[in-house]
Amino acid sequence: MKPTYIINESTRKVTYKVRKIGMKKKLHEISTLCRIQACAIIYGPHETESEVWPSHSEVESVINKFNAMSEIGQRKNMSTEESFLKKNFEKTRDQLKKSYLIIAIIHIVVQKENAHR
């Protein structure tokens, strides 16, 4: 299902609040499970100021570490939606090729076994 703009304003506000909570929960989980620093700066459509997670000082720390990296280091792990999808597509395609190869080998083995009967 492709995400589309929510026309009903009250539904959109509720969805925004629920998704924002969910996103912060997921950030907390990934930072805990992987022992990484993660942060978010959220600009809400009806709020005058941005919201940061987990705290201003921790967000500043993450941004300062990022800015201290070389440009190559900064770009190393960055991805756009397009590059992310392309990488996942290539990975899936490679897995599919391997599966086809395994199926072809099994097919040849079965044919040889049937020929010897």
Same domain, 69 and 103: no
CATH of the domain at 36: 3.40.1810.10
pTM of the model: 0.60
Name the phi and psi angles at 43, rounded to 5. -105, 100
Residue 26 has pLDDT above 90, yes or no: yes
Range of the domain at 58: 1-78
**Tens digit of each residue's pLDDT (9 = 90 or more) over 51-102:** 999 999 999 999 999 999 998 988 887 888 888 889 899 999 999 999 999 9
Give the chain's domain count.
2
Would you say residue 1 has pLDDT above 80? no
Mean of pLDDT values over 44-54: 90
**In the prediction, which pLDDT does 73 show?**
87
Residues 84 and 64 in one domain: no
Q: Which two tokens stand for residue 78?
A: 């960055």
